[in-house]
A and B are shown apart, each in its own frame.
Chain A
Amino acid sequence: MDEENTPVTVAGMQFDELSKIRVLDPEKHEQTEELGEECRTFLEKINSFHTVMGGFVELVDRLAKAVDDEKMKAIGARAAVDSLSKKRQSEEQLLQAMIAEKRAELERLQVEQDSLERVIQDQDQFITTHVMNK
């Protein structure tokens, strides 16, 4: 039987190789099928893109937060360093004051020692002049 001239063909319908009735011509059908397939793949890809993007955004957000945190930390540290130098300054002042105090004390003790040494000298001299020469 001539495939071309079957009544199905005439009605625009055809049979495929498996002898199933087809409304569209197999070529178009195939193309449609392909299109459908492609669309699905496309959808899948889009979906996967979305998830990837979502993950990416999340990552970036996390990163941004981390950066912010670090930034804050850095600012804090800088402030701490600044204040530390101020603190050191005041500590230095305090120590300087203490040193001045101690130095004054040392001078006082030095003077005291000198005077006591002079007393020893005086007494030795007294002994030599008045006792030894007897």
Chain B
Amino acid sequence: MKIELKKSGQHNRHKDVAAAVVWTTSGSLVSAGDDHRVLQWNETLDDASELINLKEEWYPTSVAVGPNPKRSQGDVFAIAFDDGKFRLMAQTGRIEKTVEAHTGAITTLRWSADGQSILTAGEDGLMKVWSRAGMLRTVLAQSAQPVYGAAWSPCGSRAIHTAGKHVAVVSLKATAKAETWKAHDGVVLCVDWGAASNLIVSGGEDGRYKVWDAFGRLLYASTPDLYPITSCRWSPTGDAFAVGGYNSVRLCDRAGWSYAVDKPATGSVYEVQWSHDGTRLAGACASGDVLLGQLVMRSVSSPRYVVTQTGPATLIARSIAANTDEELDFREPIVKMVLRFGHLVVTTATQCVVYAEDNWLSPSTIMLKAPAVAVTLGRSHIALADKTDTITVYTYDGKTASTIKPPHAQSDRFSATSIAVADDTVAIIDHRDAKAVRVYDTQSGKEMGKPLVHSVEISTILLDQGGASLDRCLAFVDKNRDLCIVQVRRSQRRAEKIATMVSDAMWHDDHHMLATLQEAKLQLWFYPACAFVDQDMLSFTKQGVVTGGDLGKAPYLTSFSGNTCSVRRADGASMTFSVPPQVAVLQSHTSRNAWEDAIRLCRFIKEDALWACLAVIATKAKELNAAEIAYAAVNAIDKVEFLQLVKSIPTAEGRKAELAVFSGQIEEAATTLLQAGLIYRLVDMYIRLFDWDKALDVAIKHKTHVDTVLASRQRYLEGLGQRESKAKFVQYSQSVEVDWDDIQLKIQQALEAEKQRPGATPYV
């Protein structure tokens, strides 16, 4: 990835320092300079027209564009000046309002994402929030040093500002305490908070730029440049950011390492701004020049193809094996490109073009109603979030599967990590409450059940692609970096935390396998759903991958398909690791119910991890013989004995209930038994779980085995040497006669009756 930079010509540029650039809502570039002019540039940057002529004594420092309440009248410009005032101006140059905001110059002015408020920071060390009409809302921060840079948090509830060598995050809620940390060895000059990435980038006089997470943990620090870093800005797509310094514009990956650096002879680059689609970059320079850069050489790859963007609207797909190139041309500039699941999805402003990997000649084209802001791929579907806050799900042949309009959605906060799509399920992180995930059906677009609510904010969600629909697993990483999985299509959604300190996770493209990055180590989970079946096997079915060296501070996963898993290291190097192929083979055997083949495979490979996987999968499928063999192979004698016990149960419902108890699904077990009318089993189950109240309730309700419960309770209390404390038990033990021999007889009768049931079939 790199940026092709273009400089404005000698005669067009500002006659003095260019102080600010901004993209208007319609996507044209506007710049303001110390020559008291606001210029609007054409697409190619070779012509500029004067939009607003400012008064002689007005020196603009920062410009932001906000929505006009009356849409027909174009944008509203908020222009900050060095005398501490900012003015709201119409496109025509008419001054709507002049606000005396700061003493000394205003250094930064930012409009909030929802367009409702304006953030200003000044040399007087203050940071203030204004309504969009220019009424003061709050003074957010006061510091002893001038504030050179400030930015909104993605949700708009907090803001970050610089103060000397420090940066501080302040909340709009008055009660919350500001978090301050030392960011640089020199004065911090610029700061930005990415809406899509939720990461912070800062640059300072020490010539370094640094990437932080939202809690101020350092993720990356660059090597020092000779000159100060004067500007930095996240791309709206969240996967890259730009850094401006003296005679330099740098393009960096979200992890911090630099893709490319450009050295235009323009003096310091005071401001950089991305276009709304994140494909172009503008810069305001000390020489009065305005820079315009086009993002090119973006590249995506799959095991078979590497697709590289060579021009604004051209791609080259290179086959790795055959080393042949296929050139793909588009009518409009390319905005996004994603290559996964054997398909290349390219979006432009009005189209989404889908290629199958082997068929570059006849793509299917989808016309878009609004520009796409995020693209997420599943094995058979594409989820496209667009500017109208809507998510549309398409199949790879271009047909619309469903349209989802999540409540409270905010288009600029959609990203590939906040949407997940699988064959049957679409999951979306709620925008108002990041603790909640909304789950939709892919085909109907209807929300399934209530949102899944977690205890803390969720940052990344992923859906597994393989397996049965009922077992669809959502994995999510929360803000504490804990990884949880939950079976979203079940009525009982039980989230199981399976790993901590997870920086990234990814499901396998075809199978129920998960790759995680924990404390810079790559971990493979061969069957994470064992958290829902047998937690003890979780540690057996995971495997650390020998990465041969440190993966650095913030590595992320780029692909997990076939027999390989790729990781992008913190320094930008892509590393590929092999994934044992036997797990995939095992899973394809078990999905066909070919248990004999699966056992033969495990015997051949002789690995505990594989046996453990088989044990769990077989238990889940109620394939008790295979499970018994597999548990025996991993020396889990207790489980083998348990399975033998289960096998001795004469009814299928009884076995099902027992296995449900085994995997902790008590309610499911209870429903099964109740439906089958196996009351003794139900009472017995509650007794074994020491859930005395429930056992007694069931017994009373069905008027049977009340004495069994009471007797068991008595024996239990005697064993512990305690007295009866439950009022209900005291009451019933007075009215009910307890005779142990009688109870034994009744139990025998119940078991005998179960055997004689019409549906009773012994397990074979």
Q: Are B604 and A130 neighbours in the complex by a CB distance under 8 Å?
A: yes
Q: Which residues of A contact B576 (CB under 8 A)?
A: 112, 115-116, 119
B556-576: which have CB < 8 Å to A? 563-564, 569, 571-576
Q: Are A119 and B572 neighbours in the complex by a CB distance under 8 Å?
A: no
A73-98: which have CB < 8 Å to B? 90, 93-94, 97-98
Q: Is A107 an interface residue (CB 8 A)?
A: yes
Q: Is B763 an interface residue (CB 8 A)?
A: no
Q: Is A62 an interface residue (CB 8 A)?
A: no
B228-263: which have CB < 8 Å to A? 247-248, 257-258, 260-261, 263
Q: Is A69 an interface residue (CB 8 A)?
A: no
User: In the bound complex, how far is the Cα of B580 from the Cα of A35, in angstroms?
Assistant: 130
**Cβ proximity bits A106-134 to B, threshold 8 Å, 1 near / 0 not:** 01110110111011001100100010000
Q: Tell me which of B261, B575, B578 contacts A112 (CB under 8 A).
A: B575
Q: With A112-B576, A115-B575, A130-B604 known to touch, is A93 a contact of B258 (CB < 8 Å)?
A: no
Q: Is A44 an interface residue (CB 8 A)?
A: no
- With both beta carbons as reference points, the residue of chain B lying nearest to A121 in the complex is identified as B578
Nearest CB of B to A124, in Å: 10
- With both beta carbons as reference points, the residue of chain A lying nearest to B578 in the complex is identified as A122
Q: Are A101 and B261 neighbours in the complex by a CB distance under 8 Å?
A: yes
Q: Is A66 an interface residue (CB 8 A)?
A: no
Q: Is B719 an interface residue (CB 8 A)?
A: no
Q: Are A97 and B263 neighbours in the complex by a CB distance under 8 Å?
A: yes
Supply 10 further A-B pairs (C-beta < 8 A) apart from A108-B573, A119-B564.
Answer: A94-B263, A97-B248, A98-B261, A101-B261, A104-B572, A111-B575, A116-B576, A118-B578, A119-B577, A126-B581
A interface majority secondary structure: helix
Q: Is B676 an interface residue (CB 8 A)?
A: no
- With both beta carbons as reference points, the residue of chain B lying nearest to A116 in the complex is identified as B576
Q: Which residues of A contact B257 (CB under 8 A)?
A: 104
Q: Which residues of B contact A123 (CB under 8 A)?
A: 563, 578
User: In the bound complex, how far is the Cα of B577 from the Cα of A126, in angstroms?
Assistant: 14
Nearest CB of B to A102, in Å: 10
- With both beta carbons as reference points, the residue of chain A lying nearest to B581 in the complex is identified as A126
B579-633: which have CB < 8 Å to A? 580-581, 604-605
User: In the bound complex, how far is the Cα of B247 from the Cα of A93, in angstroms?
Assistant: 11
Q: Which residues of A contact B263 (CB under 8 A)?
A: 94, 97
Chain B interface residues toward A at CB < 8 A: 226, 247-248, 257-258, 260-261, 263, 548, 563-564, 569, 571-578, 580-581, 604-605
User: In the bound complex, how far is the Cα of B581 from the Cα of A25, in angstroms?
Assistant: 146
Nearest CB of A to B318, in Å: 16
User: In the bound complex, how far is the Cα of B581 from the Cα of A111, in angstroms?
Assistant: 23
- With both beta carbons as reference points, the residue of chain B lying nearest to A93 in the complex is identified as B226
User: In the bound complex, how far is the Cα of B258 from the Cα of A115, in angstroms?
Assistant: 21
User: In the bound complex, how far is the Cα of B485 from the Cα of A68, in angstroms?
Assistant: 86
Q: Which residues of B contact A107 (CB under 8 A)?
A: 571, 573
Q: Which residues of B contact A112 (CB under 8 A)?
A: 573-576
Nearest CB of A to B491, in Å: 42
User: In the bound complex, how far is the Cα of B248 from the Cα of A126, in angstroms?
Assistant: 49
6 A-B residue pairings within 8 Å (CB atoms): A104-B257, A107-B573, A114-B548, A115-B548, A115-B577, A126-B578
Q: Are A118 and B226 neighbours in the complex by a CB distance under 8 Å?
A: no
- With both beta carbons as reference points, the residue of chain B lying nearest to A119 in the complex is identified as B578
Nearest CB of A to B308, in Å: 15
Nearest CB of A to B556, in Å: 15
Q: Tell me which of A90, A98, A108, A122 contacts B571 (CB under 8 A).
A: A108
User: In the bound complex, how far is the Cα of B574 from the Cα of A104, in angstroms?
Assistant: 12
Q: Are B573 and A101 neighbours in the complex by a CB distance under 8 Å?
A: no
User: In the bound complex, how far is the Cα of B424 from the Cα of A13, in angstroms?
Assistant: 154
- With both beta carbons as reference points, the residue of chain B lying nearest to A91 in the complex is identified as B263
Q: Which residues of A contact B580 (CB under 8 A)?
A: 126
Q: Are B261 and A97 neighbours in the complex by a CB distance under 8 Å?
A: yes
- With both beta carbons as reference points, the residue of chain A lying nearest to B2 in the complex is identified as A101
User: In the bound complex, how far is the Cα of B562 from the Cα of A119, in angstroms?
Assistant: 12
- With both beta carbons as reference points, the residue of chain A lying nearest to B226 in the complex is identified as A93
User: In the bound complex, how far is the Cα of B545 from the Cα of A115, in angstroms?
Assistant: 12
Q: Which residues of A contact B572 (CB under 8 A)?
A: 104, 108
Q: Are A118 and B548 neighbours in the complex by a CB distance under 8 Å?
A: yes
User: In the bound complex, how far is the Cα of B581 from the Cα of A108, in angstroms?
Assistant: 27
- With both beta carbons as reference points, the residue of chain B lying nearest to A111 in the complex is identified as B573
- With both beta carbons as reference points, the residue of chain B lying nearest to A123 in the complex is identified as B578
Q: Which residues of B contact A122 (CB under 8 A)?
A: 578
Nearest CB of A to B227, in Å: 10
- With both beta carbons as reference points, the residue of chain A lying nearest to B566 in the complex is identified as A115
User: In the bound complex, how far is the Cα of B564 from the Cα of A108, in angstroms?
Assistant: 18
Nearest CB of A to B172, in Å: 40
- With both beta carbons as reference points, the residue of chain B lying nearest to A126 in the complex is identified as B581
- With both beta carbons as reference points, the residue of chain A lying nearest to B257 in the complex is identified as A104
User: In the bound complex, how far is the Cα of B569 from the Cα of A109, in angstroms?
Assistant: 12
Those 6 A-B pairs whose CB atoms lie nearest each other, nearest first? A111-B573, A108-B573, A122-B578, A115-B575, A119-B578, A115-B576
Most buried by B among A104, A108, A115: A115
User: In the bound complex, how far is the Cα of B573 from the Cα of A37, in angstroms?
Assistant: 106
Nearest CB of B to A75, in Å: 25
Q: Are B260 and A101 neighbours in the complex by a CB distance under 8 Å?
A: yes
Q: Which residues of A contact B605 (CB under 8 A)?
A: 130
Q: Which residues of B contact A114 (CB under 8 A)?
A: 548
- With both beta carbons as reference points, the residue of chain A lying nearest to B574 in the complex is identified as A112
User: In the bound complex, how far is the Cα of B564 from the Cα of A115, in angstroms?
Assistant: 11
User: In the bound complex, how far is the Cα of B600 from the Cα of A130, in angstroms?
Assistant: 13
- With both beta carbons as reference points, the residue of chain B lying nearest to A109 in the complex is identified as B573
User: In the bound complex, how far is the Cα of B573 from the Cα of A97, in angstroms?
Assistant: 19
Nearest CB of A to B671, in Å: 44
Nearest CB of A to B208, in Å: 15
User: In the bound complex, how far is the Cα of B543 from the Cα of A122, in angstroms?
Assistant: 15
Nearest CB of B to A128, in Å: 14
Q: Which residues of B contact A98 (CB under 8 A)?
A: 261
Nearest CB of A to B269, in Å: 15
User: In the bound complex, how far is the Cα of B575 from the Cα of A109, in angstroms?
Assistant: 9
Q: Which residues of B contact A104 (CB under 8 A)?
A: 257-258, 571-572
Nearest CB of B to A66, in Å: 35
Q: Which residues of B contact A101 (CB under 8 A)?
A: 258, 260-261
Q: Which residues of B contact A90 (CB under 8 A)?
A: 247
Nearest CB of A to B11, in Å: 24
Q: Which residues of A contact B564 (CB under 8 A)?
A: 119
Q: Which residues of B contact A126 (CB under 8 A)?
A: 578, 580-581
- With both beta carbons as reference points, the residue of chain B lying nearest to A107 in the complex is identified as B573
User: In the bound complex, how far is the Cα of B605 from the Cα of A119, in angstroms?
Assistant: 19
User: In the bound complex, how far is the Cα of B569 from the Cα of A86, in angstroms?
Assistant: 38
Nearest CB of B to A57, in Å: 46
- With both beta carbons as reference points, the residue of chain A lying nearest to B258 in the complex is identified as A101
User: In the bound complex, how far is the Cα of B604 from the Cα of A97, in angstroms?
Assistant: 55
User: In the bound complex, how far is the Cα of B207 from the Cα of A93, in angstroms?
Assistant: 15
Nearest CB of A to B247, in Å: 8
Q: Which residues of A contact B247 (CB under 8 A)?
A: 90
User: In the bound complex, how far is the Cα of B260 from the Cα of A98, in angstroms?
Assistant: 9
Q: Which residues of A contact B226 (CB under 8 A)?
A: 93
User: In the bound complex, how far is the Cα of B749 from the Cα of A4, in angstroms?
Assistant: 203
Q: Which residues of A contact B248 (CB under 8 A)?
A: 97
Q: Which residues of B contact A108 (CB under 8 A)?
A: 571-574
Q: Which residues of A contact B258 (CB under 8 A)?
A: 101, 104
Nearest CB of A to B121, in Å: 31
- With both beta carbons as reference points, the residue of chain B lying nearest to A122 in the complex is identified as B578
User: In the bound complex, how far is the Cα of B546 from the Cα of A114, in angstroms?
Assistant: 13
Q: Are A111 and B569 neighbours in the complex by a CB distance under 8 Å?
A: yes
User: In the bound complex, how far is the Cα of B258 from the Cα of A108, in angstroms?
Assistant: 12
User: In the bound complex, how far is the Cα of B610 from the Cα of A130, in angstroms?
Assistant: 15
Q: Which residues of B contact A118 (CB under 8 A)?
A: 548, 577-578
User: In the bound complex, how far is the Cα of B731 from the Cα of A11, in angstroms?
Assistant: 194
- With both beta carbons as reference points, the residue of chain B lying nearest to A112 in the complex is identified as B574
Nearest CB of B to A58, in Å: 44
Nearest CB of B to A105, in Å: 8
Nearest CB of A to B598, in Å: 16
User: In the bound complex, how far is the Cα of B247 from the Cα of A90, in angstroms?
Assistant: 10
Nearest CB of A to B555, in Å: 12
